[in-house]
């Protein structure tokens, strides 16, 4: 029997902390980078590229702190740099010195393997370009470092001048590089090209060094290219968590790792660690404040979400009917999405999830309500809490915590041009009515403040409920100011988060409906 230990290893090299930071709109603090490194080690990747020591104060501090603060169990921290300068000497090269001072056992240096870059970008000869690689690898290995060489623009270089590209490969191997990483830096190669060129390099290098692949996703083929490279002999794959990286991103490790392990029979992570993938992916997304694509393979919230009634009905009988793997294997789970497309099976499954007992009439009522309301502009896929309340009402549940009798909002413009907003609500709790007025920085905020003032003495648990987001969408802009408005409110009580929805031609009414349902839901689950 083929176990995890006997499967051939394909090393996972994560460059989120270096290449991943080059994506537009992302910036990580040193603390962020340390926490991400801990998550990558928890996942179990073989190598974590921490950054370019000496390039900026942030990376200098990172490597200094990493030496004492990171207690890595599975991963090796790698410092990144480049070869010596043209016509320079290795023993006085600042970049190479910084690599040594980073005090990591392994280093990765980028080397020019495209003749065009050597002659035009570096303004030197091909002989000197080859010597830059040889001298740098020899210097670093001589100082006790494991040396990996990123062959920049390798595939473009090989296509243009295969003889020079192979000279660079040979120079790195002869001087002791343990890894030769072929980079599709511009991301323009396709799988069949990758496979063909890798096979030729493999035949040339043999077992003298581990071959690696580093792809960018400019053609949408980074994962496919990496897998093609593995099939051609590569045993080291570089990429980033969630596909972060410059332009269109790098090879997405959260996709390629499970593909290699579950589809191709290789081992990338320590045994039992693959089910940490979704949690780590989401953790990194949160740290970097970059929302995870819900449709991301394996780890996205929609990766195993089912909407069509036909699919749901089939899954109830055979779970693997519409799922290519058991989502638990990657730490994810099956979800059933309820919309106007839902059939009886979908509602039944959702009711089971919520612990509701619903007869045929109640299920039929929910289906009809969904069709009617979504036609009016509601979108229950995005409003989990409103959907639950709708289903509970259909099953006979009634909300009796409070009832809003009247609500009024007044907005005035002062002489100085500033706007002030006040809301007055009359709320009945039990058999008594209470009236409160509150100011806010807008109508929704004022209504929320007035309602809370009325309810908090009776329901102190609402103090934990906070609104975290407010989204407005105009559904039919052609009708101008008379357009139907959809409002989504995100809220949390610290333990769980939820979304409610309101739809109306009046934005205040839509907001109010969403707000009222949010508070009702918060009370319903206050002790859950």
Q: What pLDDT does residue 180 have?
A: 98
Task: Give the SS3 label for residue 408.
Answer: strand
Q: Is residue 82 part of a domain?
A: yes
* pTM for the structure as a whole: 0.73
Q: Is residue 285 part of a domain?
A: no
Judge if 386 and 424 occupy the same domain. Answer: no
| 484, two tokens | 């139907």
**pLDDT band of 86, cuts 50, 70, 90:** very high
Do the domain assignments include residue 174? yes
Question: Which one is predicted more confidently, 346 or 115?
Answer: 115
User: What is the distance between the alpha carbons of residues 45 and 39, in angstroms, rounded to a whole number?
Assistant: 10
Confidence of residue 444 (pLDDT cuts 50, 70, 90): confident
Instruction: State how far the Cα of 98 lies from the Cα of 81, in Å rounded to an integer.
Output: 8
Asked if residue 129 has pLDDT above 70, the reply is yes
pLDDT at 320 over 90: no
Distance CA 355, CA 505 (A): 35
Nearest-angstrom CA–CA distance, 84 and 107: 14
Cβ 225 vs Cβ 191: under 8 Å: yes
Spatial neighbors of 175 by CB under 8 A, at least 6 apart, are: 133, 134, 137, 138, 141
What 3-state DSSP class applies to 167? helix
- 176 or 333, greater pLDDT: 176
Long-range contacts of 167-172 (CB under 8 A, 24+ apart): 167/126, 167/130, 168/111, 168/112, 168/113, 168/129, 168/130, 168/133, 169/113, 169/201, 169/204, 169/205, 170/204, 171/130, 171/131, 171/133, 171/134, 171/137, 172/111, 172/133, 172/134, 172/137, 172/209
Per-residue pLDDT band at 253 (split at 50, 70, 90): very high
Of 156 and 54, which is predicted with more confidence? 156
pLDDT of residue 2: 45
Same domain (yes/no): 481, 378 = no
Determine what percent of the chain is predicted with pLDDT higher than 90.
62
Residue pointed to by tokens 């809220």? 491
Final residue belonging to a domain, choices 215, 244, 270: 270
Lowest-confidence segment of 96-110, 304-318, 353-367, 498-512 by average pLDDT: 304-318
Which of 394, 413, 434 lies at the terminal end of a domain, its last residue?
Answer: 394
Handedness of CA 76, 78, 83, 85 (dihedral sign): negative
Task: Tell me the mean pLDDT in the region 269-294.
Answer: 91
Nearest to 226 by CA among 203, 207, 254: 254
Range of the domain at 460: 403-524
Same domain, 15 and 141: yes
Q: How far is CA 519 from CA 155, 261, 369, 399, in A?
A: 58, 45, 22, 11
At residue 352, the pLDDT reads 81
Domain count, the chain: 3
Q: Does the pLDDT of residue 314 top 70, yes or no?
A: no
Whether 390 and 451 share a structural domain:
no
In a domain, 281, yes or no: no
Task: Work out the percent of the chain whose per-residue pLDDT is above 70.
Answer: 92
CA 66 to CA 174: how far, in whole Å? 32
Q: How many CA atoms lie within 13 A of 192 on its CB side?
A: 0
452 and 502 inside one domain: yes
Whole-angstrom Cα Rg for the chain: 29
31 and 79 share one domain: yes
Pair 172, 211 in one domain: yes
pLDDT over 60 (residue 75) = yes
Kindly state whether residues 320 and 411 are assigned to the same domain.
no
Residue 102 shares a structural domain with residue 201: yes
Does the pLDDT of residue 95 top 60, yes or no? Answer: yes
Q: Pick from 340, 369, 394: which residue ends a domain?
A: 394
Residue 233 pLDDT exceeds 90: yes
CA 213 from chain centre, in angstroms, equals: 22
What does the alpha-carbon distance between residue 156 and residue 166 come to, in Å, rounded to a whole number?
13
- Looking at every residue in the chain, the average pLDDT score rounds to 90
> What is the distance between the alpha carbons of residues 29 and 280, in angstroms, rounded to a whole number?
18
Does residue 8 or residue 355 have the better pLDDT?
8
- Report the CATH number that the domain containing residue 65 is assigned in CATH: 3.20.20.70
Note whether 502 and 519 are same-domain residues: yes
> Residue 338: what pLDDT?
65
CA distances in angstroms from 11 to 28, 46, 104, 173, 412, listed in the order given = 25, 6, 18, 19, 64
- Give the pLDDT confidence of 473-487 residue by residue, as tens digits: 887 655 555 578 888
User: Looking at the domain assignment, is residue 294 inside a domain?
Assistant: no
At 337, the pLDDT band (50, 70, 90 cuts) reads low
CATH number of the domain at 373, please: 1.10.238
31 domain residue, yes or no: yes
């Amino acid at each position: 029997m083929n176990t995890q230990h006997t499967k051939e290893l394909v090393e996972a090299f994560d460059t989120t902390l270096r290449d991943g930071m080059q994506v537009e709109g992302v910036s990580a603090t040193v603390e962020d980078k340390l926490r991400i490194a801990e998550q990558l080690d928890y996942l179990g990747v073989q190598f974590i590229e921490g950054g370019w020591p000496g390039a900026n104060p942030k990376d200098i501090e990172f490597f200094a702190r990493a030496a004492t603060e990171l207690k890595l169990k599975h991963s090796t921290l790698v410092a990144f740099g480049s070869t010596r300068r043209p016509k320079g000497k290795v023993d006085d090269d600042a970049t190479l010195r910084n690599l040594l001072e980073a005090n990591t056992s392994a280093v990765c240096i980028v080397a020019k393997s495209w003749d065009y870059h050597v002659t035009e970008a570096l303004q030197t000869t091909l002989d000197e370009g080859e010597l830059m690689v040889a001298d740098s690898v020899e210097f670093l290995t001589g100082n006790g470092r494991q040396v990996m060489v990123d062959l920049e623009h390798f595939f473009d270089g090989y296509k243009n001048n295969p003889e020079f590209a192979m000279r660079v490969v040979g120079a790195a191997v002869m001087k002791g590089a343990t890894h030769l990483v072929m980079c599709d830096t511009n991301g323009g190669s396709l799988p069949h090209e990758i496979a063909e060129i890798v096979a030729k390099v493999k035949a040339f290098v043999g077992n003298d060094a581990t071959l690696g692949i580093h792809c960018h996703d400019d053609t949408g083929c980074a994962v496919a290219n990496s897998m093609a490279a593995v099939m051609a002999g590569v045993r080291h794959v570089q990429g980033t968590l969630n596909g972060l990286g410059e332009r269109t991103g790098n090879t997405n490790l959260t996709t390629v790792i499970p593909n290699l392990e579950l589809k191709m029979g290789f081992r990338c992570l320590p045994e039992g660690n693959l089910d940490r993938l979704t949690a780590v992916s989401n953790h990194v997304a949160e740290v970097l404040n970059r929302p995870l694509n819900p449709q991301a393979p394996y780890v996205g919230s929609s990766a195993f979400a089912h909407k069509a009634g036909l699919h749901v009905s089939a899954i109830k009988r055979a779970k693997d009917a519409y799922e290519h793997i058991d989502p638990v294997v990657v730490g994810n789970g099956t979800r059933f999405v309820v919309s106007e497309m839902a059939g009886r099976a979908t509602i039944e499954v959702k009711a089971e999830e919520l612990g509701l007992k619903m007869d045929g009439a109640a299920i039929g009522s929910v289906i009809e309500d969904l069709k009617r309301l979504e036609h009016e502009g509601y979108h229950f896929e995005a409003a989990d809490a409103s959907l639950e309340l709708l289903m509970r009402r259909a099953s006979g549940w009634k909300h009796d915590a409070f009832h809003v009798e009247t609500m009024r909002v007044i907005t005035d413009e002062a002489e100085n041009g500033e706007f002030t907003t006040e809301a007055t609500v009359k709320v009945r709790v039990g058999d008594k009515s209470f009236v409160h007025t509150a100011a806010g920085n807008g109508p929704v905020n004022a209504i929320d403040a007035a309602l809370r003032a009325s309810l908090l003495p009776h329901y102190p648990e609402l103090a934990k409920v906070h609104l975290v987001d407010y989204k407005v969408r105009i559904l039919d802009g052609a009708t101008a100011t008379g357009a139907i408005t959809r409002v989504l409110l995100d809220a949390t009580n610290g333990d769980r988060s939820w979304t409610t929805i309101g739809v109306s031609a009046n934005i205040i009414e839509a907001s109010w409906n969403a707000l009222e349902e949010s508070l009702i839901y918060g009370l319903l689950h206050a002790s859950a």
